[in-house]
Every structure is written in structure tokens, then in C-alpha cells.
Structure 1
């Protein structure tokens, strides 16, 4: 079993280690961002407002009692001037290799036609293909109407 001070200790091995590590890192990041999160200083309330979390949730998090919910990570990271990856990796919640820039999916640079999509999805039945292609064409037509109406409203309005 690894020690409590070892940053590679798994939360499964030592309950609460990840929350304490995250809280310590968040405290430093918040202080660096101008939030004095020491109890009674007002920074916890300010950080709560900036992140959309409750003051009590911020208190539990910086005190190392709980981890934030996944939906709170991005607003919390923004509030302290970090991205989510940096927040999680630097706080020791996840190893850097689990979230590397190399794992981003490539950006498609070619257009995909409805026929290409049908081929890719394995839709070979002629009737099902016609239905799909017809639906896509109708969706494109309706979107064009919406775009034209929005453009007309802006130009006329």
C-alpha cells in the first residue's frame, strides 16, 4: 500500500486522498487567481459566485472533503483561470497520460454527402436510403428557410 503523501496513490486505496489533493490544489489556484479562500475572508463566497457553485460546496471542496461534480469542473476551472485538464491533472485527480493532446480526434476537412453518410452507416436497402436522403434534403431546405428568415429579420429590423 502506498503512503498518503504519494501523489500516485489511487483514491480506491486511500478514501478521500483525491478530494484532499484536489482541495489543496484548488486552494492554491484560487489564491493565485485572487480569491482569498481562507475561512471568513470572503473569497469562498466570491469563488462560489464566479463558478456557479454554492459557498458551502466551495468550502467542502477547498477543505478537501469532497470533489466537485463533473458539471462543476469547467466553471470552477474558468473561475480560477485554468482549463479542466490542468485542474484535474495538476490536482492529481487523473494522470496526465489519461488526457493528452494526442488523443483529440482529428478534424474532418472533407464534406460528407448524405449518400456518403448512408454508405458509412451501412444503409443499403433502396427504400430506407431514399427515406433517409429525402429526410436530409428536407432538413436542409428547412434550415435554409430558417436562415433566410433570420437574415430577413436582421436586414429589415
Structure 2
């Protein structure tokens, strides 16, 4: 295997594309699945640029075409915009190897596109091993207050405060 070849830890197949080509193909696939029409001149690339927020139109086009790589610090914004896993973008771009961060070894940490399972404050306290009645009560009440305040803030942001 040449030093420029990329071996996928998931499939054990050798991919001879450059990191820019691998990332371009992956982001194009994810962007399409996320509803962006990224064909040149369609307007979907401009929408993707706005969603990413930290890249120019030409930089996004070159990335999608597999010509250049974005800066590593831009990969999180790209992952959010295309509802992808930042780990996959880091591996595809060659920033890390698939072996350095195995696919399912995130220890329960959610990626930017993960949908968390809804837990009650009581279930969270159970998972965290909080058994002291006083500490548990304080935690549950604090979480319930935070949820209520967030819901109120979301309502204000939507402009529907007071309408329920």
C-alpha cells in the first residue's frame, strides 16, 4: 500500500483517492442527503455556504469537487451543515486515521448530528449514580428549571410567547 492510499478500518478496502477527493465525495453525498442540490449553478452550493458560515463559495466548490481540503477547524461546521459525523470528515480528510478514533468508540459522546435519547431528570440521576435524596432533588429541580427556561426562550425566539 502506498503512503497516499487510505485503508478503511470499517471495510479494510484500499481507497486510492486523495484526501481531498474522499472528503469531497463524502460531503457531496451527505449534503445531497441533507437536501442540498450541490450541482454547479443550482443554488444549493450557496445555501451550503450559508449553512457552513466559515467558508467562501469558491472554497466550498473546490472542496465538493475534491480539489482542496478545508481547514480542520472548519470540519465541525461542515458536519453540522450536512448532518454528518465530524469523525467521518476528519478521517476522510486525513486529519486522523480511522484507527485513532474507531467508529463506535466515542464512549457515548454524541456527534453534532446525533439525536439524543430523551431522558427524564430522574433517569439521568440514575445513570449518573446520584442517590442522595437532597442532591438528587436539587439536580432534578435544576434540570426541570433549565428545561422550562429553554422552552420559554425557544417560544420567544419563534415569536409565539403566550400562545399555547
- Could you state the TM-score of these two structures normalised by the residue count of structure 2? 0.51
Which residue of the partner structure matches residue 7 of structure 1? 6
- The reply on whether 1:20 has 2:21 as its aligned counterpart is yes
User: Do the aligned partners of 1:35 and 1:46 also contact (CA within 8 Å) in 2?
Assistant: yes
Q: How does 1:77-96 map to 2 (within 5 A)?
A: 77-89=79-91, 91=92, 93=94, 94-96=96-98
Take 2:2 and 2:50, find their aligned partners in 1: how far apart are those partners?
A: 37
Where structure 2 has 5 or more consecutive residues not aligned to the other structure, the ranges are 9-16, 110-127, 129-164
Take 2:6 and 2:93, find their aligned partners in 1: how far apart are those partners?
A: 6
Which residue of the partner structure matches residue 76 of structure 2? 74
Which residue of the partner structure matches residue 101 of structure 1? 106
Q: How does 1:1-157 map to 2 (within 5 A)?
A: 1-2=1-2, 7-8=6-7, 17-52=18-53, 53-89=55-91, 91=92, 93=94, 94-99=96-101, 100-101=105-106
Task: Find the residue that maps to 1:95 and give its secondary structure.
Answer: coil
Where structure 1 has 5 or more consecutive residues not aligned to the other structure, the ranges are 10-15, 110-157
Label 1:2 to 1:75 Cα distance change in 2 as closer, same or farther (>3 A).
same
Structure number with bigger Rg: 1
User: Do the aligned partners of 2:23 and 2:63 also contact (CA within 8 Å) in 1?
Assistant: yes
User: By how many angstroms is 1:54 displaced?
Assistant: 1.1
User: Do the aligned partners of 2:21 and 2:67 also contact (CA within 8 Å) in 1?
Assistant: yes
- Could you state the TM-score of these two structures normalised by the residue count of structure 1? 0.53
Structure with the larger helix share = 1
User: By how many angstroms is 1:21 displaced?
Assistant: 0.9
Task: Find the residue that maps to 1:59 and give its secondary structure.
Answer: helix
Take 1:7 and 1:32, find their aligned partners in 2: how far apart are those partners?
A: 24
User: Do the aligned partners of 2:34 and 2:83 also contact (CA within 8 Å) in 1?
Assistant: yes
Take 1:70 and 1:88, find their aligned partners in 2: how far apart are those partners?
A: 8
Q: Which moved more, 1:24-33 or 1:78-87?
A: 78-87
Q: How many residues align?
A: 98
